[in-house]
Amino acid sequence: MSVYRRGKSWYIDVRIGGVRIHRKAGNTKAEAKRVEEELKTKWRLKQLHVSEIKEDPVSFGFVAKQYLEHCAKVKAPKTFAVEKYCLNKHIIPFFEHKFVNDFTTEDLLEYQGVKKSEGLSNRTVNIHISIVRNIINFAVDKGFIAQSPVKKYPMLKESKKQHAFLTPKELKALIENIADPLTRKRVLFGALTGMRPAELAYLTWSDVDFYNGTVKIQGKENWKPKTNEERIIPLCDEAVKILRELYEKRKSKWVFSNTDRPVLSIKRALKTAAKKAGITRPVSPNMIRHTFATLSLMAGVNIMEVKEIMGHSQIKTTTRYLHTLQQHLKTAVQKVAEFMREGKKDKNNF
């Protein structure tokens, strides 16, 4: 896009001889086109001066639009949808007319205050600040600005998130009450591998290596892994057995589908099975993944190994399961104390 409109003015954004020229060019498209041709002519005649390639300030709204177009091509659909919502609902209306190179830490602190007063959580506001940082870095990468004007991005303190998980007894009861055999195997396979719900949905037979006992998480035509990185997951004997049973009766290229389309959601099946199993807590597909991670740590698996299997880009994501584990162990110790107190009362009654 070499010529575009912003407000009532027209701008040019072109590269001439390896030099990016981004500037206001007039009040009509014709005027902007004429200025663009004049600059190209001067370049050919070697008469283009430094003063003529000076960039005008770029609005946040303009860069945000370019950023979204970029994200739509490279990010997973779910991640893109979240960023698009945050930008359109909150961030762009607040910063739309501010120039990117004028951003300061104080602007971000003001944004934090306003959004907190609207009732947004610290976690949500921090996500917004991270998106703003991504857009400013994008502006630097694309040459809209020379360097980031913000030296420090303020972040609010977040409460440590504790992931809900199922006990082995609850997991067994849940699986036994899933009516559909394929969904039942999918849930059990997810509990044995810690794969994300979308990774299970988009798993194809070409991703399965029976010889080495592994599955490969990799992008498909209309789907990309959350971190955009491929990884290999080793399988236990029971997980391999599940795949062999499914392979013999396969009807699709998708491991957990009997049609030519992947099954994207099993929420309803889990809700029904949980009710039949007597589980009063909400059970989600992600809860199966959390169960794998928590039970792995309980079993003594090294946290770095859990990180690699789960596909976490940062160890701090994996350590959240430690907080869940610590709370579980604290509850267990409390039960021991209660049991000892009850035993002491019983002894006094004899």
Scan for tokens 């370049």, then name that residue: 43
70 and 195 fall within a common domain? no
CB contact at 8 A, 221 and 202:
no
In a domain, 337, yes or no: no
What was the pLDDT predicted at 169? 94
φ, ψ dihedrals at 342, nearest 5° = -65, -40
For residue 346, name the pLDDT band (cuts at 50, 70, 90).
Answer: low
Mean pLDDT, to the nearest integer, of 170-176?
96
* 217 and 276 housed in the same domain: yes
Nearest 5°: the CA angle 5, 138, 122 is 110
State residue 260 phi and psi, 5-degree precision.
-85, 5
What's phi and psi for 159, nearest 5 deg? -75, 145
Instruction: Specify the pTM.
Output: 0.59
CA distance 267 to 183: 11
Residue 317 burial by Cβ neighbours in a 10 Å radius (0-12, 13-18, 19+): middle
Order across the sheet with 214-217: list the strands: 208-209, 214-217, 231-234
Does residue 190 sit in the same domain as residue 319?
yes
Domain-located, residue 256: yes
pLDDT tens per residue across span 260-286: 999 999 999 999 999 999 999 999 999
Sole residue written with tokens 């003594």? 300
- End-of-domain residue from the set 53, 70, 90: 53
Predicted pLDDT of residue 314? 87
- Is residue 200 domain-resident? yes
Structure tokens at 242: 């599940």
Mean pLDDT of 104-130: 94
Q: What confidence tier does 329 reach under pLDDT thresholds 50, 70, 90? A: low
In a domain, 258, yes or no: yes
CB neighbour class for 291 (10 Å; exposed up to 12, middle 13-18, buried from 19): buried
- Mean pLDDT, range 254-263, rounded to an integer: 95
Whether residues 209 and 124 share a domain: the answer is: no
Range of the domain at 84: 60-141
What integer pLDDT is reported at residue 18 of this predicted model? 56
217 and 318 assigned to the same domain: yes
Strands 214-217, 19-26: pairing is: unpaired
> Residue 297 falls within a domain, yes or no?
yes
| Relative orientation angle of helices 267-277 and 168-176, to the nearest 10 degrees | 110
User: Does 125 lie in the same domain as 271?
Assistant: no
Average pLDDT of the residues in 171-184 = 96
Co-location of 40 and 188 in the same domain: no
Please give the average per-residue pLDDT across 77-103, as a whole number.
89
Q: Are residues 213 and 282 in the same domain?
A: yes
Domain check: are 217 and 79 in the same one?
A: no
Residues 182 and 320 in one domain: yes
Cα–Cα distance between 179 and 237 in angstroms, integer?
Answer: 24
Least confident span in 47-51, 184-188, 310-314: 47-51
Q: What percent of the chain has pLDDT over 70?
A: 85
Residue 159 lies in a domain: no
The DSSP secondary-structure symbol of 87 reads: I
Mean pLDDT in residue range 318-340: 71
Question: Is 153 a domain residue?
Answer: no
Which among 319, 200, 179, 336 has a CA at the least distance from the CA of 256? Answer: 200
Categorize the per-residue pLDDT at 54 as very low, low, confident or very high, splitting at 50, 70 and 90: very low
**Do 25 and 117 fall within a single domain?**
no
User: What's the domain count of the chain?
Assistant: 3
Contacts of 243 (CB under 8 A, 6+ apart): 189, 208, 210, 215, 235, 255
Q: 131 and 12 in one domain?
A: no
Give the CATH number, domain containing residue 176.
Answer: 1.10.443.10
> Mean of the pLDDT values across residues 125-146?
90
Would you state the pLDDT for residue 193? 96
List the 3-6 sheet strands across, edge first: 3-6, 9-16, 19-26
15 residue type, one letter: R
* 340 is a domain residue: no
H runs (alpha helix) in 50-121: 60-74, 77-86, 92-95, 105-117
What is the helix (H) or strand (E) element at residue 13, kind and residue range? Answer: strand 9-16
